Structure 1
Amino acid sequence: MTRQDETGRMEAMSDVGSTVPRRELGRLLRQLREQAGIGLEAAGSDLEWSRAKMYRIEAGQTPVRALDVEQMCRLYGASKDMTEVVTSLAKESKSKGWYHAYGEVIPRWFELYVGLEAAASRIRMYEHALVPGLLQTLEYAAEAVHTRPNVSAEEASKLVELRIERQRLLARRRPAAPTLDVIIEEALLHKSVPGMAGQIDKLIDANDVPNVCLRVLPLNGKLTQVAVSGGFVILDFPTTGARSAEPTTVYNEGLSGALYIDRIEEVRAYAEVWNQLNAQALSVEESRLLMQRVKERHHG
């Protein structure tokens, strides 16, 4: 795992870094090739590469030069914006790990997390401060994006659009929609946010969606490791054909960027925290009753 601060300085934190950028790069390159209707062997032939090399690149098993990525984008007829995205990822994939600050390496409209979220088969979220973006109402989302410093009206509008667009994945049919397991702190339900009663209604209704499970951690819950780690997301990925499942990845958002973790021992630590939260959270029905009580206070 490596961290990149806002000036772009890289500080090595371990010998083995995150493979997240490389895996996402491979996924996007495969998607571009398939959209262009070009087979793996045909692409390899045009690029003068072996089929094995093409497979390793698309599987995220090896880094690839930015110049080679540009060549692939020309072959696939990729747009200028998409070429910028994958070229940036190619540069990042050569580092031992990374700390991605929004809007610096990848354009804000295409944050890496959005792609990982869309590719996941299961998403586990713990939130202590804000309602998760996948479950926000339009009004709540508008309030949430304005908490970011120096956000213009135009940028705020785009961020809200992106947040609402992300929610479509919960109802998609192909590929199958991911399973979403959410645990939220009761405290965030009591915040005086405009439209909070409507937001709580949306959270209550979320449990009626077959692939969504939302539970509440009550105010009298025990203190756990999460007091140190803060909110986080654990993303599990499916096995596609003969490809091995991508490693489970933890996403941890901060004030100036987002941390991506896929080292086994670090992911295991977050999984243990999740198990603690899972044991302490109320049941679905208990959570529903609690949210209804809190909603009535907002109306009162």
Structure 2
Amino acid sequence: MPALPDPLPDPVAPVVPLGQDPGRAAADRLLGQELRRCREARGLTLRQVAPVIRGSVSKISRLERGESPPRPRDVRALAAFYEVDAQQMRVIERLLEHAQDAEWYEQFSDVTPGFLKRLIQLEGDAEEICVYENLVVPGILQTRAYARHMVRAVMPSAEPEEVDRVVELRAERQLRLMDGPLPRVVALLEESILHRRCGDAQVMHEQLKHLLHAGDTDKVSIRILKMSREWGVTPPYPITHLKFSNGEQSELAYVEHINGANYVTKPRALDDYRNALSNLRNAAASKDESIDLILKAQHRFGDRTAS
């Protein structure tokens, strides 16, 4: 087995530097262009459509040039007025989603460290996310109750309102990642995670049920690394690997530690992380075996099918 990468490689700049958002600007422009095409196809002027959103001609013009943040209500009102067909509406909704995604987490900026903002930005653009966890269920697969106990454990002095906001951030992040065919998610979990109590038995039972439900979809693949295996040393820290469908940077690895995170894009270091995750995939239990392991762990926390 190849040697595992050093725990804390030299940090490198993320693919999308925080504070610069070319993806958001491009999405705004594309959405504006699509709205302009729809308007012009109907032979309508800016002055004629401005009343639809109770705005001015300049507001419509800025929206079509991508210079104003698009409001979902305005975009949908214009699309309805233009009587776009179902296919055009899907295009508009997707562009609107892209234009909104880069900013949605800013409402949680007071409880979101900069390194996590970068990860959330990148996750939204990824084609595949492979995450290895050795201690807890990954954040993108946690239930609210499980997340709440996790947050309380790592933020013991936090006020209840702050805990609520962190939990809401995790829930919103998961909802957005699971909506749509991409990104695909591969979760490689140490078996001990299934038995390590976080909260009471009810919390664990629901969390394991959630894993089973997620793994039963085409979007998520959950593989368990059995405690009984004898194949080598596992990484002592979580690893997240992101693949992108295009662009100059097609992949990166993300390694979080106590005071920050490293974004790895240097080819040699990236090879090490990719190989480590490939070895973990090969060593993990099959889909059916993984389901059985989760079911056994769930049974350990009691039968709550009636709840």
Task: Return the TM-score normalized by structure 2.
Answer: 0.64
- What code does the residue aligned with 2:23 have? R
Q: How does 1:186-201 map to 2 (within 5 A)?
A: 186-193=191-198, 194=200, 195-201=203-209
Report the equivalent of 1:165.
172
State the Cα distance separating 1:105 from its structure 2 match. Answer: 4.7
Q: Which runs of no fewer than 5 residues in structure 2 stay unpaired?
A: 1-8, 35-65, 71-98, 104-110
| 1:35-54 equivalences in 2 (<5 Å) | 37=32
Shift of 1:225: 5.1
Deviation of residue 19 (structure 1)? 4.6
Alignment RMSD: 3.0
Of 116, 119, 123, which residue of structure 2 is paired with 1:113? 119
Q: Secondary structure at the match of 1:182?
A: strand
Structure 2 match to 1:211: 219
Counterpart contact for 1:224–1:273, Cα < 8 Å: no
Q: What SS class does the counterpart of residue 228 from structure 2 fall into?
A: coil
List runs of 5+ in structure 1 lacking aligned partners: 1-11, 40-74, 87-101
Contact 2:264 2:270 in 1 (8 A): yes
Match of 1:261 in 2: 264
Matches within 5 A, 1:54-69: none
Separation in 1, partners of 2:296, 2:14: 44
Partners of 1:224 and 1:276 within 8 A in 2: no
In structure 2, distance between residues paired with 1:263 and 1:185:
27
Question: Equivalents in 1 of 2:137, 2:193: separation in Å?
Answer: 7
Change (3 A) 1:22 1:272: same
Match of residue 152, structure 1, among 156, 159, 172: 159
In structure 1, the residue matched to 2:67 is: 76
1:95 corresponds in structure 2 to none
Greater C-alpha Rg: 2
CA contact (8 A) 1:247 1:262 kept: no
Aligned-pair identity in percent equals 25
Q: 1:262 to 1:200 in 2, by over 3 A?
A: same
* Structure 2 residue matching 1:205: 3-state secondary structure: helix
- Would the alpha carbon gap of residues 272 and 33 (structure 1) be closer, same or farther in structure 2, given more than 3 Å must change? same
CA distance in 2, matches of 1:249, 1:142: 29
The count of aligned residue pairs is 222
Cα distance in 2 for partners of 1:192, 1:22 equals 37
Alignment deviations for residues 227-267 of structure 1 (CA, whole Å, 9 cap, x no partner): 34x1111000123xxxx363301111111112111111111
- Cα distance, 1:76 vs structure 2: 2.7
| Cα deviation code 1:155-187 (max 9, x no counterpart) | 2111111111112234423xx421111110011
Compared CA separation, residues 78 and 169, structure 1 to 2 (3 A): closer
Whole-Å separation in 2 of the counterparts to 1:270 and 1:233: 9
The answer as to whether partners of 1:141 and 1:163 remain within 8 angstroms in 2 is yes
Cα distance in structure 1, aligned partners of 2:186 and 2:142:
15
Q: Which is worse superposed, 207-216 or 18-27?
A: 18-27
* CA displacement, residues 200-223 of structure 1 (integer Å, 9 cap, x when unaligned): 111112221111100100112336
Distance 1:248-1:219 versus aligned 2 partners, 3 A rule: same
C-alpha deviation, 1:13, in angstroms: 4.6
After superposition, residues 119-134 of structure 1 pair within 5 angstroms as 119-134=125-140
| Corresponding residue number in structure 2 for 1:29 | 25
Runs in 1 of length 4+ with deviation above 6 angstroms?
none
Q: Which residue matches 2:189?
A: 184
Higher relative contact order (CA 8 A, sep 6+): 2
CA distance in 1, matches of 2:131, 2:238: 8
Q: Residue 170 of structure 1 contacts residue 211 of structure 1 at CA under 8 Å; is this kept in 2?
A: no
Aligned-partner SS, 2:22 = helix
CA distance in 2, matches of 1:220, 1:159: 35
- CA distance in 2 between partners of 1:19 and 1:137 (Å): 28
For 2:178 and 2:10, the matched residues in 1 are separated by: 39
